[in-house]
């Protein structure tokens, strides 16, 4: 597979079709195994542990799929989650974009194959930066890199496989830090090699005036002092920034050997797809209510029901009306049009006067 992607010039959608056909073929067997899994909880477990999510991994580790491939795979998984073995079409009460969000950010934590595709390809960059001993890495280094880092290449030329690797370099920068030795493989402004962020960010005003933004650290510090060409003279405020930059750069020492990539998102400094996937799917503020629901020691199907109720996606009459349902909107028990799970007077009085009321009084 690597040979086809490396030396081929054009990769059509037909080349990526076998993975999709494999998923469709396994789906029939999966349906027979899931006849008893009528609820979303069981179908979610089957989907995450079988070929519906794992089969495309092998292809995504080499190819950057087309959007049509993503949509086809998502359609298979989405249909299986909501309909299961039933051939009759059922309502999809929640958008797929919401289902693939992590649980702590309001989703169900299904695999986002677009993000995972990028994370798997970034693994190649880490292997290239560390000069893996495998034959594939040695071949790519001799053909495209030489003694350079992959981030030093300015031309987007080569085979289709190589172009896809170059296209995901920006995502690798999220957790990449360079431990400098010879400084020949590190860009002075754009790489994170000293401080807490790249110098182009920390000293953005100076970076905007520099004449050579892609200069290497070895060239900028050739004679033991920092030498940067600017397009104009610096004022007093900028000279103070320059002095701070020089002080920061002088904290690093020059040693023998090749510059080494470290991954700051992991304590051990080694790249993992899990760490980058977690960073790329980060949704901001966590929802404590939903996290309490997912952590409860109750059946998974009840967790899904509570999750859908929290997001107002239960198939009550009010929600079905939005999908052009022809039935009445009123509750059959109380005659009201309120949300069944929270404001139905029948459900409320049954809760207060039922067996649970004794525990409330106690």
Q: Kindly indicate the confidence band of residue 239, based on its pLDDT and cuts at 50, 70 and 90.
A: very high
User: What is the pLDDT at residue 128?
Assistant: 93
Where b means 16+ CB within 10 Å and e means fewer, 236-275 reads eebeebbeebeeebeebeeeeeebbbbbebeeeeebbbeb
Res. 262: pLDDT tops 80: yes
Average pLDDT taken over every residue of the chain: 79
- In percent, how much of the chain has pLDDT > 90? 24
Instruction: Encode pLDDT of 308-334 as tens digits.
Output: 888 877 777 777 777 777 777 666 666
User: What is the pLDDT at residue 22?
Assistant: 60
Q: Kindly indicate the confidence band of residue 56, based on its pLDDT and cuts at 50, 70 and 90.
A: confident
User: What is the pLDDT at residue 165?
Assistant: 93
Q: Kindly indicate the confidence band of residue 87, based on its pLDDT and cuts at 50, 70 and 90.
A: confident
User: What is the pLDDT at residue 143?
Assistant: 93
Residues with Cβ within 8 Å of 248's Cβ and at least 6 positions away in sequence, in order, are 194, 195, 199
C-alpha 165/C-alpha 87 separation (Å) is: 40
Res. 30: pLDDT tops 60: no
Instruction: Encode pLDDT of 186-204 as tens digits.
Output: 899 999 998 888 999 999 9
User: What is the pLDDT at residue 258?
Assistant: 85
């Amino acid at each position: 597979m690597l040979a086809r992607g490396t030396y081929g010039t054009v990769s059509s959608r037909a080349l990526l079709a076998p993975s999709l056909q494999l998923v469709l073929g396994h789906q029939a067997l999966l349906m027979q195994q899931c006849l008893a899994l009528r609820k979303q909880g069981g179908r979610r477990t089957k989907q995450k542990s079988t070929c519906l999510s794992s089969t495309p991994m092998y292809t995504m580790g080499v190819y950057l799929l087309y959007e049509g491939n993503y949509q086809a795979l998502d359609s298979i998984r989405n249909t299986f989650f909501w309909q299961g073995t039933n051939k009759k079409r059922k309502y999809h009460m929640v958008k797929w974009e919401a289902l693939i969000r992590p649980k702590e950010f309001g989703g169900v934590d299904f695999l986002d194959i677009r993000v995972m595709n990028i994370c798997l390809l970034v693994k190649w960059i880490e292997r290239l930066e560390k000069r893996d001993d495998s034959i594939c890495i040695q071949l790519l280094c001799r053909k495209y890199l030489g003694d350079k880092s992959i981030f030093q290449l300015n031309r987007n030329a080569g085979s289709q496989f190589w172009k896809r690797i170059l296209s995901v370099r920006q995502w690798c920068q999220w957790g990449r830090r360079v431990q400098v030795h010879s400084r020949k493989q590190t860009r002075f402004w754009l790489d994170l090699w000293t401080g807490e962020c790249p110098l182009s960010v920390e000293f953005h005003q100076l970076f905007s005036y520099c004449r050579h933004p892609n200069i290497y650290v070895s060239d900028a510090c050739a004679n033991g002092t920092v030498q940067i060409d600017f397009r104009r003279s610096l004022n007093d405020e900028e000279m103070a920034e320059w002095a701070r930059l020089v002080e920061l750069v002088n904290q690093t020492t020059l040693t023998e050997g090749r510059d080494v990539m470290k991954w700051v998102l992991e304590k051990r400094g080694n790249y993992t797809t899990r760490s980058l996937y977690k960073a790329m799917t980060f949704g901001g503020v966590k929802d404590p209510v939903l996290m309490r629901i997912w952590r409860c020691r109750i059946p998974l199907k009840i967790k899904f029901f509570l999750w859908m109720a929290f997001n107002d996606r239960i198939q009550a009459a009010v929600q079905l009306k939005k999908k052009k349902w022809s039935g009445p909107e009123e509750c059959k028990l109380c005659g009201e049009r309120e949300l069944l799970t929270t404001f139905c007077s029948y459900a409320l009085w049954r809760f207060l006067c039922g067996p649970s009321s004794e525990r409330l009084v106690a």
